[in-house]
Structure 1
């Protein structure tokens, strides 16, 4: 599946939650805007208020009438800052005041007579005491400019109260701006918390919906699909791949939006600051686009293989765990370890290829582009700054913004790997969803059938012309018991798979009560068929649950009656919790015979019209077998029963026995008729009886 189609499908899954997603992204926008606005408030607070004390001050001859509250009294003299004069509508000439400068040295402030250049504010200062005036210590401050010229100003050392007086008109704005800055931080945190919670919840809902749809779709797939697909691979797609997609809706989406906003804001600031440098910054965009293209081209190949290798590893683990008894019994732990080591090593090598690609093309490559761009800027524009083409301050600010410009790009690039993983994982999930489900019969729903089953010239092949059944024809009357016998591979189980609709008939037809099976809804037919397999599977839950099997229409009394009919009630009632006894995975705490009896009860509790027993008595001891035979005689009345058996002693009561060989019916009749024919059935029966005699004799 192409990336474009995968993205369209991902959008379709998110469409029902688009309001929540847009709401979360809007909150992300608000949170990011609040976060970006914070430094602007800090800039205003620092430049206009905290450092504003270093602006020119003017000594007044008398306290001004206008804006008198902005005049600061020190030693019976009044001082006003330059910006306060402008706000009051006054000029230096109108107040005829001497210009003053406030110098800071650490935590000490000095009020000096005269003007000091801006560049001298941050240069080294030399302080020397001079003759006191009016009982107040005075100091001479000497500064040296960049061109070597020295400037000396005299003044007084300010007390803490006097410094506070100079700040008296800035305290309230600083408090309000600090409160505003804190409010923006709080708002940003609240918006980000809500959007993360909202986006995470929405992503979980999307993945929950996707997993549910995938799980339901798996149940609709034909049995042939599961014959060819490892269980571990399917589990990996339902769990690991959907989890990778979840990261797309949470981390990748949020990172792209948030850092995209940062990039736009920084680009605007760059163009406001210096358009020429901003255009130079934009020249790096094609390089970044090319970098992303190369990364996506190669990483998509690696991630496709990685996800497949992960599925193979899960399949190996699943196979090993399911067959642990065989592995340990035959001491094959080392062989299994070597097999898993090979799969694990293959996965490791592919992962390393992906890591090498990521390590080369993501952050290191972006950092290289950033360093080259920075070098060019400093080399060219740094020298130009000496000719006043661009100020040092603008160059410094631009370098700082360039660093901020590439940081969001790095964040986005770091998320590209997750985006690629999610894209590949989505393609794997959608491949399953696009797998054609079991063919829905265009036929009608049927009520409980009488049970007449007719195979009319049925032929079947799993692969093209390799037929496993050839022109099979027989009729099962309602209430009859039909036994299928033959050597392994003769086609017995294939006949029952066709009857259950697991596979379509290649040639011929199957009739149920005179209706062609192709015209009957398969799911409707299966609701009237009971199945007991040779290797019974019990689900995690209780014994009662395993007999009921999600069918709430089956009452507790029905469960008990079904168990009694197959003599399972005898051992169930001896368990500590009876029918509420917990069943672990696969029912491994129960014996094979007990599991088989429960599976019998499960089939009979559903009251099927057609009963299929596929080697159902193979795991039952002789005593239990006799009890089941008695129950089957009763339960088969009114039901058409098909028995696949190797132990011929269990089918002597069958109304009709079909002997298959290489996909064809070679003999048919009841037990007595077949024994009289001196054919394949008689040889099989005598062989089994002889083997039993030898065994008993030994």
Structure 2
């Protein structure tokens, strides 16, 4: 199954493969004709001691011409096969990376990032070896073996028929090696993926590891898996040392003994041709060299098949991001039939959602955000605030109810339209390696320089950027490590506003901003929200007092709703949270939720 799918990637290169195969065929014929010319020289000229100059020059020239032709043809066929192989792996790697861009977040929630990196890099590299080294070697050597047997039958039919008995033995040997090695290679690839996962996690969390003195624990964990990878690799070496060249060399010795015995018996009954004996032994030696090469490549073949299995497992994953499924795209009709977000009216109608399919993190959530309104989501950690943002962005599929934008079900919009019209600012902004300008524009051709400058001015970041040594061309290192948390947040604000979204999603957007910077940002946020529907997840209640509607969530349900003043007057959960954040000295007892206006 895996082999068939890997070979399918070669179909677009059928013509190039045909040319490479023809070059291989002629190169093999030229290589095989050499010993036959030597046989003619020995039997027809050397043994009878007859040395006509013209004939010998012709034989010598023919031998050199064949050898030179074989070298040239072998070079071009090898170059052709490997060029095709690199194109195939280039396409496969692009397909795998492209698939990861459309997998739903639920997939990444349950899959280690390092394991995915291993599949996209190490496993596709192993598949590359299949095309570059293994398949070309097998094709070349199988053609070579067929040519050798053809030459053997020309020399002596009886002995060539006897030598055919070696093939079943070799096939059994290859099958035994394949069965034993496949288990070892599967363990080896899994352990390598785990090593990548630990390495990725350790590098990203190095500050926490050192701060909490976890270096020894991580070293021990890495050493344990590294030791398991070493053990699997050692088993592979033992298999190679036992079943590859030693076993084939033993067969080669038996074959040579058989040939010598056969010609020895023939010599008792009549005269044997020395040239035939030379050619036969030469072909026999050449027969086992390709066999050795194929046996050595069996190890790479097994690694490639296991790696291919892991790659196709990723390609076959059905955990698509909602809206990216192929059948979903087809159901939307043509581009002109797809809905477009215009006003930004958001409706949640009895929405229920679960990450694992068992525990509901949102239960019967219903609210409406009118165009230009700001709806704030507050509540304790784990109450479901960020989940509402994730559902709006169509990162996950809902379990029940319906989400509508401009009275159109969310499921009818393409992800491209949703992401184009929604601006997202997260609590922990992610910056890319590049420049300040590139982090704002994200190399999007639709974002002009004027839009970049206006967005930076809007969030009061323009003056800071222009003070940098290189201004908007200032390099940004990985994750923006050289910038403060507030500067990174402001940069993410500018990135969002440069696209002029119809809907603004703020997920704890001011959580990492100091008080002085927050005051400046609040003014910028007020301008950002003008004419836009805004959904704001807030921990600091002081930042959302002017919201048109505040939803208070508790354990996945809306337990209170209203404006800031209305909620304060209710003296429910919001009132308690607000008093605690304001530093009330008197003891505040949390009210019971039954009287707080459930879904009020």
Correspondence 1:183 to 2:178: no
Structure with more of its chain in strand, by fraction? 1
Correspondence 1:562 to 2:455: yes
Residue 300 of structure 1: CA displacement? 2.0
Query: Gaps (5+ residues) in structure 1?
Result: 56-166, 694-698
Give me the whole-angstrom Cα distance separating, in 1, the residues matched to 2:130 and 2:279: 35
Give me the whole-angstrom Cα distance separating, in 1, the residues matched to 2:273 and 2:35: 21
Question: Partner of 1:584 in structure 2?
Answer: 477
Give me the whole-angstrom Cα distance separating, in 2, the residues matched to 1:7 and 1:691: 69
**1:435-477 deviation digits (Å, cap 9, x = unpaired):** 1233434345232331111111111111223111111111111
Asked if 1 retains the 8 angstrom alpha-carbon contact of 2:177 and 2:239, the reply is yes
Give me the whole-angstrom Cα distance separating, in 2, the residues matched to 1:276 and 1:383: 14
Correspondence 1:487 to 2:380: yes
Residue 306 and residue 390 in structure 1: after superposition, are their counterparts in 2 closer, same or farther (change >3 A)?
farther
Question: Partner of 1:219 in structure 2?
Answer: 101
Residue 387 and residue 35 in structure 1: after superposition, are their counterparts in 2 closer, same or farther (change >3 A)?
closer
Structure with more of its chain in helix, by fraction? 2
Question: Partner of 2:194 in structure 1?
Answer: 312
**1:569-601 deviation digits (Å, cap 9, x = unpaired):** 121111111111111211112111111111111
Correspondence 1:472 to 2:468: no
Aligned to 2:339, the other structure's residue is in SS state coil
Correspondence 1:269 to 2:151: yes
Give me the whole-angstrom Cα distance separating, in 1, the residues matched to 2:47 and 2:374: 103
Residue 544 of structure 1: CA displacement? 0.8
Question: Partner of 1:438 in structure 2?
Answer: 321
Question: Partner of 1:14 in structure 2?
Answer: 10
Q: Which moved more, 1:198-207 or 1:389-398?
A: 389-398
Question: Partner of 2:268 in structure 1?
Answer: 387
Residue 317 of structure 1: CA displacement? 0.7
**1:616-639 deviation digits (Å, cap 9, x = unpaired):** 111111111111100111110111
Residue 14 and residue 481 in structure 1: after superposition, are their counterparts in 2 closer, same or farther (change >3 A)?
same
Q: CA RMSD in A?
A: 2.3
**1:141-173 deviation digits (Å, cap 9, x = unpaired):** xxxxxxxxxxxxxxxxxxxxxxxxxx7x51x44
Question: Partner of 1:156 in structure 2?
Answer: none
Aligned to 1:233, the other structure's residue is in SS state helix
Q: Which moved more, 1:553-562 or 1:540-549?
A: 540-549
Asked if 2 retains the 8 angstrom alpha-carbon contact of 1:446 and 1:525, the reply is no
Tell which has more relative contact order, 1 or 2 (C-alpha 8 A, sep 6+).
2
Aligned to 2:583, the other structure's residue is in SS state helix
Correspondence 1:356 to 2:351: no
**1:620-664 deviation digits (Å, cap 9, x = unpaired):** 111111111001111101111111111112111211111111001
Correspondence 1:423 to 2:316: no
Residue 320 and residue 591 in structure 1: after superposition, are their counterparts in 2 closer, same or farther (change >3 A)?
same
Q: Where does 1:589-604 land on structure 2 (aligned, <5 Å)?
A: 589-604=482-497
Q: Where does 1:531-570 land on structure 2 (aligned, <5 Å)?
A: 531-570=424-463
Which of 505, 528, 541 pairs up with 1:612? 505
Residue 357 and residue 274 in structure 1: after superposition, are their counterparts in 2 closer, same or farther (change >3 A)?
same
Give me the whole-angstrom Cα distance separating, in 2, the residues matched to 1:19 and 1:274: 37
Residue 383 of structure 1: CA displacement? 6.1
Residue 272 and residue 680 in structure 1: after superposition, are their counterparts in 2 closer, same or farther (change >3 A)?
same
Residue 288 and residue 202 in structure 1: after superposition, are their counterparts in 2 closer, same or farther (change >3 A)?
same
Residue 174 of structure 1: CA displacement? 3.8
Give me the whole-angstrom Cα distance separating, in 2, the residues matched to 1:197 and 1:488: 60
Residue 48 of structure 1: CA displacement? 5.1
Residue 347 and residue 10 in structure 1: after superposition, are their counterparts in 2 closer, same or farther (change >3 A)?
same
Question: Partner of 1:637 in structure 2?
Answer: 530
Asked if 2 retains the 8 angstrom alpha-carbon contact of 1:532 and 1:614, the reply is yes
Residue 198 of structure 1: CA displacement? 2.0
Aligned to 2:560, the other structure's residue is in SS state strand
Asked if 2 retains the 8 angstrom alpha-carbon contact of 1:381 and 1:395, the reply is no
Residue 369 of structure 1: CA displacement? 2.5
Give me the whole-angstrom Cα distance separating, in 2, the residues matched to 1:265 and 1:401: 10
Question: Partner of 1:148 in structure 2?
Answer: none
Asked if 1 retains the 8 angstrom alpha-carbon contact of 2:347 and 2:367, the reply is yes
Give me the whole-angstrom Cα distance separating, in 1, the residues matched to 2:130 and 2:405: 50
Aligned to 2:190, the other structure's residue is in SS state helix
Correspondence 1:34 to 2:38: no
Query: Gaps (5+ residues) in structure 2?
Result: 587-600
**1:413-444 deviation digits (Å, cap 9, x = unpaired):** 11111111111211111111111233434345
Question: Partner of 2:590 in structure 1?
Answer: none
Question: Partner of 1:504 in structure 2?
Answer: 397
Give me the whole-angstrom Cα distance separating, in 2, the residues matched to 1:39 and 1:292: 29
Aligned to 2:12, the other structure's residue is in SS state helix
Asked if 1 retains the 8 angstrom alpha-carbon contact of 2:341 and 2:405, the reply is no
Question: Partner of 1:141 in structure 2?
Answer: none
Asked if 2 retains the 8 angstrom alpha-carbon contact of 1:381 and 1:390, the reply is no
Question: Partner of 1:122 in structure 2?
Answer: none
Give me the whole-angstrom Cα distance separating, in 2, the residues matched to 1:192 and 1:397: 22
Aligned to 1:200, the other structure's residue is in SS state helix
Asked if 2 retains the 8 angstrom alpha-carbon contact of 1:27 and 1:192, the reply is yes
Give me the whole-angstrom Cα distance separating, in 2, the residues matched to 1:297 and 1:7: 16
Give me the whole-angstrom Cα distance separating, in 2, the residues matched to 1:53 and 1:676: 121
Residue 613 and residue 324 in structure 1: after superposition, are their counterparts in 2 closer, same or farther (change >3 A)?
same
Correspondence 1:372 to 2:254: yes
Question: Partner of 1:624 in structure 2?
Answer: 517
Question: Partner of 2:49 in structure 1?
Answer: 54
Asked if 1 retains the 8 angstrom alpha-carbon contact of 2:28 and 2:147, the reply is no
Give me the whole-angstrom Cα distance separating, in 2, the residues matched to 1:584 and 1:545: 12
Larger Cα Rg: Structure 1 or Structure 2?
1
Give me the whole-angstrom Cα distance separating, in 2, the residues matched to 1:200 and 1:401: 27
**1:198-228 deviation digits (Å, cap 9, x = unpaired):** 2222211111111112222211111111111
